Amino acid sequence: MDKLLARGSGSLSAAARSRPRTAVVSMMAGVAVIAATVAVATSASAGTTLGASAAEKGRYFGTAVAANKLSDATYVGILNREFNMVTPENEMKWDATEPSQGQFSYTSADRIVSHAQANGMRVRGHALAWHSQQPGWAQNLSGTALRQAMVNHITQVATHYKGKIYAWDVVNEAFADSGGGRRDSNLQRTGNDWIEVAFRTARAADPAAKLCYNDYNTDNWTWEKTQAVYNMVKDFKARGVPIDCVGLQSHFNSGSPYPSNYRTTLQNFAALGVDVQITELDIEGSGSTQATTYGNVVRDCLAVSRCTGITVWGIRDTDSWRASGTPLLFDGNGNKKPAYTAVLDALNAGGTTPPP
């Protein structure tokens, strides 16, 4: 148990989520009875929800959450039952948190963080520095002024959430889709060191948060973009730039399919001495084909000891940024899809082996 808690695993959240069910008993009985009831409730939920099953493997299972859906009872019911990590889908981005320069706005993001804390879920922060979803004032800056604005933004936001974030996507999508280089952006034009400056700034503001580099199309080991990110992480580790994790977004579809070497990619990043997290998983398709791919992704993560968790990019297909591709685990009515069952079965396979 200590080991699970020390890793900050979902065992804590499984216990937390069992509390409402035990409330009546708790009022009537003594400490020993409460403890026994919690234990029974916890083991009863293990293996039957994504979060509890992932926790049994020393991992988390998360979802992107939109603050404006927290009033949707079906949505919240699934969220609270199945997940033990959340990522604000848009609410922590630069345009949301600093709409005017130096004026910070945390209402929507705070709502998600409060919901997570009240329900025993942890939070992945997304994202501190990104070329997209910048407020207009930042889009219009360049050079030293933009660099200073980025540093101030990271300092302010990471300080506001200090102690509440399991992992930050410090920098998002900084590499070009082809050619093996950086993506051109206003941030890139402030100097090639902008990424390491972002990581050092985040570390100074919240030393306990894991600091991640997050990107898409970095799943196939043979792709130039994957190699480019790998080389940056290797360089950061060699030079002592503070980086703790790599996020593979893993948005899969016919143009960017699940690659057969995905496990190799996870293993190779992990071998650099960073955690690997699947941060925005969605897989377009339906039925058994989609379910098989979801199961493969879960099995790949479980095969790599430093693959510490999986986050899907939304709850129901209708919540997805790619809704027409029906890429998620629940249908529009909130019913479990075959993909859900494949994920749960993959998480439960092999019994209750201890976390790696």
Using CB under 6 A, list all residues that contact ligand G2I: 89-90, 132-133, 172, 216, 249, 280, 321
Candidates 167, 162, 155, 174; CA nearest to 125 is: 167
Which residue's CB is nearer to ligand G2I, number 116 or number 171?
A: 171
R_g of the chain computed on alpha carbons: 20
Q: Pick the catalytic residue: 56, 89, 173, 284? A: 173
Least Cβ distance, residue 323 to ligand G2I (angstroms): 11
The structure tokens 């306990």 sit at 208
Point out the residue whose Cβ comes nearest to ligand G2I: 321
- Could you confirm whether 173 is annotated as catalytic? yes
- The torsion angles phi and psi of 59, rounded to 5 degrees, stand at -130, 170
Please answer whether residues 279 and 169 qualify as being in contact, where contact means their C-beta atoms are separated by less than 8 angstroms: yes
**Helices then strands, each counted (H, E), the chain:** 14, 9
What is the separation, in whole angstroms, between the first and last Cα of the chain?
Answer: 13
Work out how close the CB of 174 gets to ligand G2I at its nearest, in angstroms, rounded to a whole number. Answer: 12
The residue behind tokens 């101030």 is: 152
Question: Least distance in Å: CB of 133 to ligand G2I?
Answer: 5
Our CB check for ligand G2I shows the closer of 250 and 265 to be: 250
Nearer to ligand G2I, 89 or 284 (CB): 89
89 in active site? no
Looking at 56, 89, 91, 280, which residue is catalytic?
A: 280
Tokens for 44, please give them: 């009863």
Write down the least CB distance from residue 235 to ligand G2I, Å: 23
3-state secondary structure at position 221: coil
Residue 259, classed as helix, strand or coil, is: coil
User: Which C-beta is closer to ligand G2I: that of 46 or that of 211?
Assistant: 211
Residues with a known catalytic role: 173, 280
